[in-house]
Amino acid sequence: MRRSLVSALVVFVALFTFAIGAFAKPIVIKFSFVVAMDTPKGQAAQYFAKIVKERTHGKVIVKIYPNAMLYDDRAAIEALQMGALQMACPATAKFTGWIPELQLFDLPFLFKNTKHLHKVEEGPVGKKLLNLFRRKGMLGLAFWDNGFKVLSNNKHPIVLPKDCKGLKFRIMSSRVLAAQFKALGASPQVLPFSEVYSALEQGVVDGCENPWSNLYTKKFYEVAPYTTETYHGYLGYVLVTNAKFWDSLPPKIRKILDQCVEDATRYEWKLAAELTKKQRALVLKDPKVKDVILTPAQREIWRKTLVKIYPQFYKTIGKDLIEEAIKEGQGL
């Protein structure tokens, strides 16, 4: 009699625990960004949401908000710090007001190629930079890729730096990017990503700098059809979360999410390389687009003009950090 009572109690407790588990509210991660879904960031965010749901059996749900539908990047960083948003993936340039050292990534002609970039990100320089997020109440989880930037404008073809003289270029909120355009004799103007198309259309700015994926998915080439393949600088992201939120996750869940971040990052890097090629070809298919490909000698003129701005940032970014990053590219 006593034994059957105990067994009944065990079954009851098991059922009760299961019921609580089954009806417990999932942890929701709101993930906001400014680009479209068919970009490397958008696709990788979707992949991340999928594997998180699968691997946590629905205990964690990632809700995605693309195209700045919730926040532009500045507002997203603020919302993240306040805990209203759990994930974002702004361009490194957007963190200038919080972590100015991240402007390292904006320095023109710093990275020889993607291999060099990834070596820096995965090495001591990348680790040092990600560690700086905690002091701002955030966690830098990973670096995500987009690509090297091309210039586009609606005035005339740009072949040499002197062709930028007098043009107004939209930039992200980075002092390095402002200095870069000033070194070209152009006027930089900070604008949110969501305003770039109309700013080009209405003549607020004459041009912008973007990787192919952003140029294609936001159709900037329709309103700035002179493209120049300078690849003078890089645009990439930091996947960030609120530190308190991430720290408060149950350890088992956190372990799964950490692995999902790692897997989504590998996926994103691969995708960025593929989409860059694909979307470049799609832009160049438009007969209105007039593309300039630089000769190595012409590109060297750009490099010499733009690396002159480095000393202005030795203090903010750290001369050592810049030199360490340059050294990682030796022999690549």
Judged by the rule CB under 6 A, the positions of this chain that interact with ligand LMR are 34-35, 73, 91, 94, 146, 172, 193, 214
Q: How far apart are CB 211 and ligand LMR at their closest, in Å? A: 7
Handedness of CA 63, 66, 70, 76 (dihedral sign): positive
Residues 116, 66: Cα–Cα separation, whole Å: 29
CB closer to ligand LMR out of 110 and 177: 177
CA distances, 202 to each of 10, 34, 68 (Å): 71, 21, 21
Residue placing its CB nearer to ligand LMR in the complex, 145 or 328: 145
Residue placing its CB nearer to ligand LMR in the complex, 94 or 168: 94
Measured from the CB atom, is 90 or 161 closer to ligand LMR?
90
Question: Among residues 49 and 60, whose Cβ is nearest to ligand LMR?
Answer: 49
Tell how far CA 136 is from the center of its chain: 18
The least CB distance from residue 304 to ligand LMR, in Å, is 26
Long-range (24+ apart) CB contacts under 8 A made by 274-278 are 275/38, 275/39, 275/40, 275/43, 275/212, 275/213, 276/147, 276/211, 276/212, 276/213
Beta carbon of residue 58, minimum distance to ligand LMR (angstroms, whole number): 29
CB of 318 to ligand LMR, least distance (A): 23
Q: Where are the alpha helices (DSSP H) in 189-250?
A: 196-201, 212-217, 220-223, 243-247
**Shortest distance, CB of residue 90 to ligand LMR, whole angstroms?**
6
